[in-house]
């Protein structure tokens, strides 16, 4: 029995030693540096243990991460069942210093507190946070220490602060409300819904200008989205209302596995001039456009609009735009472009344009066209004694676009008149026009030169050809009279 007594004494001494190291103040002081070193190596940060108490059935721990961030927890536990019932408090006052842990650029602060209950098989965490100035509550579950379920409600988060925290440019401000009901966090079987609302949103003009070189007008907006997560599929509906216009998406689907986005859209712009920051030119009127978007290896966007008295159908493939124009009314087009309304017609044709190269071709036909009374038609009426506005024209208009420069050829024909011109030049940015038109009105040829600001150009008429034609007619008339008198004399 001596050996048993020795073994029992040894085991007792070991238990006392273990107890002394693990569950006494002196032992805790010995373990604290080891805990700090171990955690520090794993997260890549300087860690200081400010408090460490481990007793049988209870514990308390306070960690300082790089002096500005602090984590505290305390509670009770059951050693054999590995159950825990604890509270925690996290005060992260400088997220930027946690980059080695978060592995992404984050800024600002994050405070949260809550409780942890359960065991290794299933653990529940409930808490609250003031993230981005919000009133946030959350509950999430872990199974086998892996995230399993998340329920969260965010109320009144500051959108600017959220963008700042995520290391993103301060593109917009506003208040964000969100409701997350994620019943499965398994990446392969993701299930749940996310509903978000942005109210009193405002676009940060300075940031947009610096980030995207866009000089946006003051823009307020509200937005609502609902997202359904189902495995590899993420379906979203959205509605955005702003001082620029409205955007409605009935179903946007993102296939995570295939990295493929498909979506419909409907955009309505009440005042096209508010798109000046995109178009670079002033426009007048309103427009509604609907279509589809597909983004995988290539970007494909379709657009349809019932506008300008006709219809427009377009398709964008990466940088290449093709548009079919159907019976667009030229007066409505000129009104939209804020150009003088000089010609009324129905325009049908195609536009091919490369967004990157800023080059393209417009090939159209003009039907049932009539000139509107202008300085040009008045001069023609005075010089050629012909009313050009009474004629009905059919013809073609072809334009070559190179940046802001537009070179156009026009060929219009009517019963008693024609209007032709080659290489008529228009600078869309400066709105300067330089065109020479050849007009034949009732067999009277005229050259009309149009130069200057397209809103009020200078119109000159070159009458050289007209005077030459009049002279020829006079000579023919006089010569014809002399021959007639000569014939009469011969046959008396």
Same domain, residue pair 241 and 318:
no
Q: What is the pLDDT of residue 397?
A: 96
Domain count, the chain: 3
Same domain, residue pair 441 and 330:
yes
Helix or strand or coil: residue 22? helix
**Would you place residue 41 in the very low, low, confident or very high pLDDT band (cuts 50, 70, 90)?**
low
Q: What is the pLDDT of residue 43?
A: 62
Same domain, residue pair 268 and 390:
no
Measure the CA dihedral 331/384/379/420, to 10°.
Answer: 50
Same domain, residue pair 210 and 97:
no
The domain of 43 spans: 1-101+110-119
Q: What is the pLDDT of residue 32?
A: 56
pLDDT tens-digit profile of 211-259? Answer: 888 888 889 999 999 999 999 999 999 999 999 999 999 999 999 999 9
Percent of the residues in the chain that have a pLDDT greater than 70, as a whole number = 84
Domain presence at residue 131:
no
Same domain, residue pair 280 and 350:
no
Same domain, residue pair 398 and 449:
yes
Same domain, residue pair 252 and 167:
yes
Inter-CA distances, 169 with 205, 209, 257, 264, Å: 12, 11, 29, 28
CB 272 within 8 A of CB 285: yes
Query: Would you mind telling me the total number of residues written for the chain in this entry?
Result: 492
Domain presence at residue 133:
no
Domain presence at residue 11:
yes
pLDDT tens-digit profile of 62-101? Answer: 888 877 888 888 888 887 778 888 899 989 888 877 776 6
Domain presence at residue 383:
yes
Domain presence at residue 134:
no
**Would you place residue 478 in the very low, low, confident or very high pLDDT band (cuts 50, 70, 90)?**
low
- Final residue belonging to a domain, choices 86, 119, 152: 119
Domain presence at residue 124:
no
Res. 455: pLDDT tops 70: yes
pLDDT tens-digit profile of 375-396? Answer: 888 888 887 788 989 999 999 9
- Final residue belonging to a domain, choices 119, 151, 185: 119
CB 136 within 8 A of CB 152: yes
CB 265 within 8 A of CB 247: yes
Domain presence at residue 136:
no
Same domain, residue pair 185 and 332:
no
Q: What is the pLDDT of residue 33?
A: 60
Q: What is the pLDDT of residue 3?
A: 40
pLDDT tens-digit profile of 293-350? Answer: 999 999 999 999 999 999 999 999 999 999 999 999 999 999 999 988 899 999 999 9
CB 133 within 8 A of CB 161: yes
Mean pLDDT rounded to a whole number for the chain: 84
Residues 408-432 have a mean pLDDT of 93
Same domain, residue pair 286 and 310:
no
Q: What is the pLDDT of residue 215?
A: 85
Domain presence at residue 392:
yes
Residues 277-303 have a mean pLDDT of 93
Q: What is the pLDDT of residue 492?
A: 46
Q: Give the span between the Cα atoms of 443 and 473, in whole angstroms.
A: 11
pLDDT tens-digit profile of 184-193? Answer: 988 888 999 9
Angle between helices 2-22 and 25-43 (to 10 degrees): 60
Q: What is the pLDDT of residue 35?
A: 59
Same domain, residue pair 244 and 374:
no
Give the lowest-confidence range in 86-90, 112-116, 177-181, 276-280. 276-280
Q: What is the pLDDT of residue 15?
A: 35
Res. 477: pLDDT tops 60: no
What pTM does this model have? 0.80
Handedness of CA 174, 126, 140, 125 (dihedral sign): positive
Q: What is the pLDDT of residue 391?
A: 93
Same domain, residue pair 415 and 463:
yes
Q: Give the span between the Cα atoms of 196 and 210, in whole angstroms.
A: 28
Same domain, residue pair 284 and 380:
no
- Final residue belonging to a domain, choices 52, 87, 119: 119
């Amino acid at each position: 029995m001596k050996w048993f007594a020795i073994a029992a004494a040894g085991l007792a001494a070991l238990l006392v030693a273990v107890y002394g190291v693990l569950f006494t103040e002196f032992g805790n002081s010995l373990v604290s540096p080891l805990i700090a070193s171990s955690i520090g190596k794993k997260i890549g940060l300087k860690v200081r243990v400010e408090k460490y108490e481990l007793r049988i059935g209870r514990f308390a721990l306070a960690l300082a991460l790089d002096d500005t961030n602090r984590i505290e927890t305390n509670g009770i536990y059951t050693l054999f069942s590995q159950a825990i019932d604890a509270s925690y408090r996290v005060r992260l006052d400088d997220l930027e210093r946690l980059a080695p842990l978060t592995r992404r650029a984050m800024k600002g602060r994050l405070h949260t507190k809550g409780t942890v209950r359960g065991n290794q098989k299933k653990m529940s965490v409930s808490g609250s946070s003031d993230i981005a100035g919000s009133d946030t509550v959350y509950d999430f579950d872990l199974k086998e220490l892996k995230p399993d379920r998340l329920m969260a409600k965010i109320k009144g988060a500051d959108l600017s602060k959220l963008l700042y925290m995520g290391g993103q440019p301060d593109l917009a401000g506003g208040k964000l409300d969100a409701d997350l009901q994620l019943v499965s966090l398994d990446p392969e079987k993701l299930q749940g819904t996310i509903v978000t609302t942005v109210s009193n949103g405002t676009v940060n003009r300075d940031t947009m200008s610096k980030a995207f070189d866009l000089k946006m007008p003051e823009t307020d907006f509200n937005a609502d989205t609902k997202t359904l997560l189902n495995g590899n599929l993420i379906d979203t509906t959205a509605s955005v209302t702003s001082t620029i216009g409205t955007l409605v998406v009935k179903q946007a689907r993102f296939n995570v596995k295939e990295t493929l986005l498909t979506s419909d859209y409907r955009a309505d712009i009440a005042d096209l001039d508010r798109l000046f920051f995109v178009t670079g030119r002033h426009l007048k009127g309103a427009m509604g456009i609907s279509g589809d978007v597909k983004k995988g290896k290539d970007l494909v966007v379709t657009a349809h609009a019932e506008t300008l008295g006709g219809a427009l159908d377009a398709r964008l493939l990466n940088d290449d735009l093709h548009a079919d124009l159907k019976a667009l009314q030229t007066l409505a087009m000129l009104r939209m472009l804020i150009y003088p309304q000089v010609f009324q017609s129905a325009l049908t044709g195609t536009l091919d344009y490369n967004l990157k190269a800023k080059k393209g071709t417009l090939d159209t036909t003009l039907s049932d066209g009539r000139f509107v009374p202008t300085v040009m038609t008045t001069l023609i009426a005075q010089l050629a004694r012909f009313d050009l506005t009474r004629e009905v024209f059919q013809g073609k208009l072809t334009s070559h676009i190179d940046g802001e420069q537009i070179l156009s050829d026009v060929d219009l024909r009517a019963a008693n008149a024609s209007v032709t011109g080659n290489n008529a030049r228009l600078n869309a940015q400066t709105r300067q026009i330089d065109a020479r038109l050849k007009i034949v009105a009732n067999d009277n040829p005229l050259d009309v030169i149009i130069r200057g600001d397209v809103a009020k150009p200078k119109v000159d008429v070159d009458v050289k050809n007209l005077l030459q034609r009049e002279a020829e007619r006079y000579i023919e008339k006089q010569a014809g009279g002399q021959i007639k008198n000569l014939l009469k004399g011969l046959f008396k």
